[in-house]
Amino acid sequence: MYAFQYQQVKTVPEATSLIAAGAQALAGGQTMLAAMKQRLMGPEKLVDLAGIKDLVGIEVTPSSLVIKAMTTHQTVELSGAVQQMIPSLAILAGGIGDRQVRALGTIGGSLANNDPAACYPSAVLALGATVMTNQREIAADEFFLGMYATALQEGELITGVRFPIPKRSGYAKFKQPASRFALVGVFVAQTEGGVRVAVTGAGNGVFRHLELEHALSQRFSPDSVEGVHIDPTELNSDIHASALYRANLVSVQAKEAVRRALA
């Protein structure tokens, strides 16, 4: 690990001021600190967001659930409000990493990093959520731009995510055994605007699968997945799984996600 300066802050303006001056924001640190230890990253200054109380917590409205950026995976997993209003989101959070990761990792950090195999991006995209920042609001369809890339601009911080309440939803993933990231994960949501299906782990970033959405909009049943061809040509192929294997997993996990939504 390279030498760096570390500073804690208590407000969003303090953080954005330091970031504008060249500091790197530190959320849960579950990705960044590991990369720094391997000298894959070498920020000269870190600004720790953990002391900003305004970025922690879960707020409920009649039609939405707002999860603030520094809320941990464990808090989402155990939240009674999340379990009641979007149970699939609580289940997703409970399957991230291990207990230590869930105790420190945050939803804002996960989304800002946008790992192509992370779980949260699939929920945000499938549920049609809105990413809130210190400057604006960004629709999920406009937020994710590919591998580790988002619509966030320099100096822009995620402050929370607003999830509309779906009619029903489900998430299923096939874990990569060592990292526990999704080899393939599929989040299915039946919303007021129709069915949305988001896939993570299979490509260079989270993406919606329009053919699955169309089939499930016709009939929301695991059987509807059977007739949908999953094209492997744009999926990942690596030491963990071939593109063809991932294509099969998309179908398998989509069926399971629908079963869980119906259950």
* Tens of pLDDT, residues 158-196: 999 999 999 999 999 999 888 888 999 999 999 988 999
Mean pLDDT of 8-33: 87
Whether 227 is covered by a domain: the verdict is yes
Whether 216 is covered by a domain: the verdict is yes
Beta strand pairing call for 24-26 and 45-48: parallel
Instruction: Give the pLDDT confidence of 32-46 residue by residue, as tens digits.
Output: 877 888 887 777 888
- Give the domain CATH number at 251: 3.30.390.50
Whether 175 is covered by a domain: the verdict is yes
Half-sphere exposure of 188 (CA within 13 A, CB side): 29
- Contact call for residues 92 and 169 (beta carbons, < 8 A): no
Write the CA distances from 68 to 65, 157, 202, integer angstroms. Answer: 10, 12, 28
Write the CA distances from 235 to 188, 212, 220, 246, integer angstroms. Answer: 19, 16, 25, 7
Tokens standing for residue 15: 């953080």
d(CA 202, CA 98): 21
d(CA 78, CA 42): 34
* Residue ranges making up the domain that contains 195: 168-262
Mean pLDDT of 98-122: 95
Mean pLDDT of 128-132: 98
Write the CA distances from 88 to 17, 32, 94, integer angstroms. Answer: 37, 27, 10
Q: Give 154's pLDDT tier (boundaries 50, 70, 90).
A: confident
The pLDDT, as a whole number, for residue 60 is 96
Instruction: Give the pLDDT confidence of 17-26 residue by residue, as tens digits.
Output: 888 888 888 8
The pLDDT, as a whole number, for residue 117 is 94
- Contact call for residues 116 and 206 (beta carbons, < 8 A): yes
d(CA 21, CA 155): 9
Whether 35 is covered by a domain: the verdict is yes
Helix extents (H) in the chain: 12-20, 32-37, 73-78, 80-85, 87-94, 99-104, 107-113, 120-126, 140-143, 210-218, 243-262
- Contact call for residues 70 and 55 (beta carbons, < 8 A): yes
pTM score, whole prediction: 0.95
Q: Rounded mean pLDDT of the chain? A: 94
Query: What is the Cα gyration radius of the chain?
Result: 18
Last residue of a domain, one of 10, 31, 49: 49
Whether 123 is covered by a domain: the verdict is no
Whether 210 is covered by a domain: the verdict is yes
- Contact call for residues 171 and 150 (beta carbons, < 8 A): no
Whether 100 is covered by a domain: the verdict is no
**Residue 234 CB neighbours (<10 A):** 11
Check residue 181 and report its DSSP letter.
-
Residue with tokens 């939405």: 64
d(CA 59, CA 78): 14
Whether 80 is covered by a domain: the verdict is no
- Contact call for residues 112 and 32 (beta carbons, < 8 A): no
Beta strand pairing call for 130-133 and 64-68: unpaired
Residue 249, pLDDT above cutoff 80: yes
- Give the domain CATH number at 16: 3.30.43.10
Give the count of domains, the chain.
2
